[in-house]
Chain A
Amino acid sequence: MERPGARDAGRGAGRERSRLSGFLAALRKDLLLQWRTRAQFVAVFVFGATALLLFSFAIGPDAAALRQHSAGFLWLGLLLSSTLALADSFESEVQHRALEGLLLLPADPRALYYGKALANVLQLTVLGVGLVPVIVVLYDAFTARIPALLAIIVLGAAGLSAPGTLYSAMTAQMRARNTLLPLLLFPLVVPALLAAVKSTSLLILGDPMGQLTSWVALLVAFDAVYWSLCGLVFERVVED
């Protein structure tokens, strides 16, 4: 069989284009999609705030207990909301096989993954920051260390987003995706969630033993593992 261009062909020929420009293109695309579907984001936020309200009902009018558990409730609210936001993030990709269209251009699957995962981090961070005033009002949970709290929310959102983006891609075309996504995601993010809860709790309740740095370091370590592994696996998920 004649193969006129075989010699200069390469497996990575399509990836010679800058991976960075592909990543930026993917990030721009996902941020634009999030902006255009912001009404859904408002619904997700309301869901999270409602969950926090229900948690406060479960504890009852015990102000100390509410404050004690506020960090856990904040992250549970964010975790539950994140499953809705993450599932939405892939709906537009599979609706008219838009993601397949990008892969055929060809777009680098890793660039597509990291672009979407980072856009999801930004969305979950905004969601988390939006839920903080809710826990201040409902649980009297306040910290003056705002930059530290913001950093923990960003790191925790990254811990949810990396595997969440991967699993939402895996489940996007399944009929039971709304059930499957949390079933797959929740066990995997337990370590990151635990580290985020402990770090936030230490900020709100005080850190007499100086444990905050250790928990944040643990959160960073889990993020690093999630972001590197999920990026590697994503191509297999969307191409096979």
Chain B
Amino acid sequence: MDLVKNLCGQLDQMVNNQFDSVEFKALLDLPLTLERGRFYVVQNALYTSNRRDCWGYVQGAAPLDVKRVIWEHESDELINDPRAGMDHYNLTVKQGEVIGLKREDFDNAQVPAMVHACFHAWHHIAMRSHWLTAYTASHMLERRNNGKIVKGGGMSYRVGKKFENELGINLKRMISLDVHVVADMEHSENISEMFEKYAKTPEDCERVLEGARESMAIDRAYRGALGFYMERIN
């Protein structure tokens, strides 16, 4: 139990550290314009699709009871989140309407080169690592979005607040960001329970930490890439 408690403490520290990184600061300190906001929202839909890929791969490799937890998790994301009355991709598209985006903007969106590389990196971990490493890599992105763990709020909350403070769009109207403020608390807690069952030895913990470190590094690169591209949008 102490092993898992200690492990979760390290994971919590890592997700908090993300927000002190140069890449996260560059993105979150960048003044938001409507065009930059549109870019972010479209890119976020592609990020959501990449999450669906990775969770599928993790489900493929995981033990049966973990597969079931992931399947339930994917119900909100892929089929219908009762909090929103739709799946999360459609939720993002609907959110886009608030800032003048149409479905075609999402369907025709291009993945910028640096983002493309990050998506491939996440795929690689999800498909090629030990399942516990792959599982943690995907889980960490939801843990990093959990406002109960991240001091000052998770990523969705902070970005939502930027839309509110800098563009005057209330967080409640940014329905996808708003749902994720709550959904990722639940998701990261449900998923986290699996560590108690499967992180039994120092080797298991190292597999978990390896997934966490790798995913957080890609996450920093990804956020840095978004900041880089957004800075070039006037």
Q: Do A and B bind each other?
A: no
Which residues does B use to contact A, with CB under 8 Å?
none
Which residues does A use to contact B, with CB under 8 Å?
none
